[in-house]
Amino acid sequence: MIAVVVLFMGTVAGWVPAAVISGFKPIEVTRGTFRRKTKNVYSKILITLQYAITIILLGCTVIITQQIRFMQSSDKGFNPENLIVCSYHPHMISRDATPLINKIKNIPGVVDAMQCAEYPMKRVANNSRFKDKDGVDHTHTLFYVDSSFISVLGMKIKSINTHNPDGYWINETAAKQLGIDEDAVVYNGADGYSFAIRGVLKDFNYTDFTSPIGAVEMRPLPKTVPPRDIIIKISGENRAATLSRIRDEYNKMAGGDIFDGQFMTDLIASYYKTQTRLSNLLGLLSFIAIVISSMGMLAMSIYFTRQRARDMAVRKVFGATPHGVLGLLMGGFLKLVGVAFVISVPIIYLLMQEWLSGYVYRIRLTPVPFLIAGGIVLVIAVLTVVGHSVKVAVSNPVDSLKAE
**Mean pLDDT in residue range 20-44:** 50
Q: CA–CA separation, 135 vs 119, rounded Å?
A: 30
Asked if residues 197 and 167 have their Cβ atoms less than 8 Å apart, the reply is yes
Ranges 15-29, 147-161, 301-315: which has the least confidence: 15-29
- pLDDT score at 332: 72
- pLDDT score at 318: 52
Give yes or no for residue 149 having a pLDDT over 80: yes
Give yes or no for residue 199 having a pLDDT over 70: yes
Ranges 59-73, 118-132, 158-172, 360-374: which has the least confidence: 118-132
Give yes or no for residue 94 having a pLDDT over 80: yes
Give the start-end residues of each E strand in 185-286.
186-188, 194-201, 216-220, 229-234, 262-263
Tell me the one-letter amino acid at 188. N
- pLDDT score at 18: 46
* 10 — pLDDT class (breaks 50, 70, 90): low
Asked if residues 261 and 82 have their Cβ atoms less than 8 Å apart, the reply is no
**Mean pLDDT in residue range 182-190:** 83
- Rounded to 5 degrees, what are φ and ψ at 134? -90, 0
* 185 — pLDDT class (breaks 50, 70, 90): confident
Nearest to 267 by CA among 202, 206, 213: 206
Give yes or no for residue 20 having a pLDDT over 70: no
Share of the chain above pLDDT 70, in %: 75
Give yes or no for residue 290 having a pLDDT over 70: yes
* 325 — pLDDT class (breaks 50, 70, 90): low
- Residues 123-145: pLDDT tens digits? 666 888 888 888 888 889 999 99
Q: CA–CA separation, 37 vs 195, rounded Å?
A: 82
DSSP label of 202 = P
- pLDDT score at 28: 45
* 29 or 246, higher pLDDT: 246
Q: CA–CA separation, 258 vs 275, rounded Å?
A: 30
What is residue 197's three-state secondary structure? strand
- Residues 260-289: pLDDT tens digits? 989 998 888 888 888 888 888 888 888 887
- To the nearest 10°, the Cα dihedral for 25, 29, 33, 35? 110
Give yes or no for residue 3 having a pLDDT over 70: no
Distance of CA 184 to the CA centre of its chain: 41
* 104 — pLDDT class (breaks 50, 70, 90): very high
Asked if residues 279 and 58 have their Cβ atoms less than 8 Å apart, the reply is no
Give yes or no for residue 162 having a pLDDT over 60: yes
Strand 229-234 with 186-188, pairing: unpaired
Give yes or no for residue 170 having a pLDDT over 80: yes
H or E element, residue 127: strand 126-131
- pLDDT score at 114: 92
Which residues, listed in sequence order, are joined to residue 83 by a DSSP beta bridge? 233
Q: What is the mean pLDDT of the chain?
A: 79
**Mean pLDDT in residue range 11-28:** 47
- Residues 58-92: pLDDT tens digits? 899 999 889 988 888 888 889 999 999 999 888 88
